[in-house]
A = this chain, B = another copy of it.
Amino acid sequence: MINRLTSEERASQLAGLHGWQSVAGRDAIQRHFRFADFNEAFGFMTRVAIKAQEMNHHPEWFNVYNRVEITLSTHEADGLTTRDVELASFIDSIAPGPLAT
């Protein structure tokens, strides 16, 4: 069992992330990425997939060509937990710099 982030945890932990936005109507965060091409986009997704499987915590994501949109939330807690922050931090660490949107 894992609990949703408290208000204090939310303020401190989400502040350390880069480019993640709240999702309307859900306790979730989302970030959009743009890559040079599909090869780079799917390579990035593969790195995230391996990490997600290791954590047993999986993203909701959409891809078309060089764009990737990732939404994170913890189903069993019905909202954001430390698992989302951990996965988001990993994603930030491998995200491209200048092209990210």
Q: Which residues of A line the B interface, CB within 8 A?
A: 38-39, 42, 46, 49, 52-53, 58-65
Contacts and interface: CB of A to CB of B under 8 A. Distances in A.
A77 to B, nearest CB: 15
Contacts of A63: 59-61
B64 A39 contact: no
A42 B50 CA distance: 10
Given A38-B52, A39-B53, A49-B42, A62 B62 contact: yes
Given A59-B63, A60-B63, A61-B62, 10 more contacts: A38-B49, A38-B52, A38-B53, A42-B46, A42-B53, A58-B64, A59-B64, A60-B62, A60-B64, A62-B62
